[in-house]
Chain A
Amino acid sequence: MLMTIIPLAMLMVSVAIALNLWRLAMGPSLPDRILALDTMYVNAIALLILYGIYQGSPLYFEAALLIAVMGFVGTVALSKYLLRGDIIE
């Protein structure tokens, strides 16, 4: 059963990422694009974990953890740039 459910779930998450890409391209403002990127990395984590379950391998977890850490730092750095016009003060 799982082997049919997981590709379905992966399809749903992929559609979600495609929608995020659309918002990323459309804008209309910079915070919108930051938000789209933020959502996209969270969805990428979901996709990666799903793939890990599908393959039955826990190896992909480390990559998911790295994406989580880097994505958060990226979001904060971009917002900080908007707030102050500078990332490191």
Chain B
Amino acid sequence: MENFSAIEGVVALLILSGASFALIGSIGLIRLPDFYMRLHGPAKATTLGVGGVLLASMLFFSTRGDGISLHELLVTLFLFITAPVSAHIVAKAALHIKLPYIERTRGKPWQ
């Protein structure tokens, strides 16, 4: 019983931190002033948030006694591969249509 509640605690911690990161990523999407800065929220925070929730799900279903459950790993892997790719291609599209960035940005994108 002692052992089980420790696992439950870890699952709860993973779920809470995952949900917080997802929320922070979306707050970033609203608060940050220009498009290129907004890109940082989804590319990192949201991905890690979902990663945490999926890890929690993996732990939860594996310790229920129906054998181990690893297929959540598949979604995590897929998200971690695709998130940088989609961030890159959206950034490329934004650069292509010459989306403005705030003035205090140092450095210039290539022409």
| Chain A residues packing against B (C-beta within 8 Å) | 1-2, 5-6, 8-10, 12-13, 15-17, 19-20, 22-23, 29-32, 34-36, 38-39, 42-43, 45-46, 49-50, 52-53, 56, 58, 61, 64-65, 68-69, 72, 75-76, 79-80, 82-83
B contact patch SS = helix
A42-B29 contact, Cβ under 8 Å, with A1-B8, A52-B57: no
Shortest Cβ gap from B44 to chain A (Å): 11
Interface residues of B in 53-71 (CB under 8 A from A): 53-54, 56-57, 60-61, 64, 69, 71
Secondary structure call for the A interface: helix
User: Inside 8 A of B25's CB, which chain A residues have their CB?
Assistant: 16, 39
Task: Name the A residues within 8 Å of B15 (CB-CB).
Answer: 2, 5-6, 9, 50, 53
Whether the Cβ atoms of A31 and B86 lie closer than 8 Å is: no
The chain B residue with its CB closest to the CB of A72 is: B82
> A9 is contacted by which of B16, B54, B71, B90 (Cβ under 8 Å)?
B16
Given contacts A5-B16, A36-B29, contact A42 B46 (CB under 8 A): yes
The list of the 6 closest CB pairs from A to B, nearest first, reads A16-B26, A9-B19, A82-B93, A39-B42, A31-B94, A12-B19
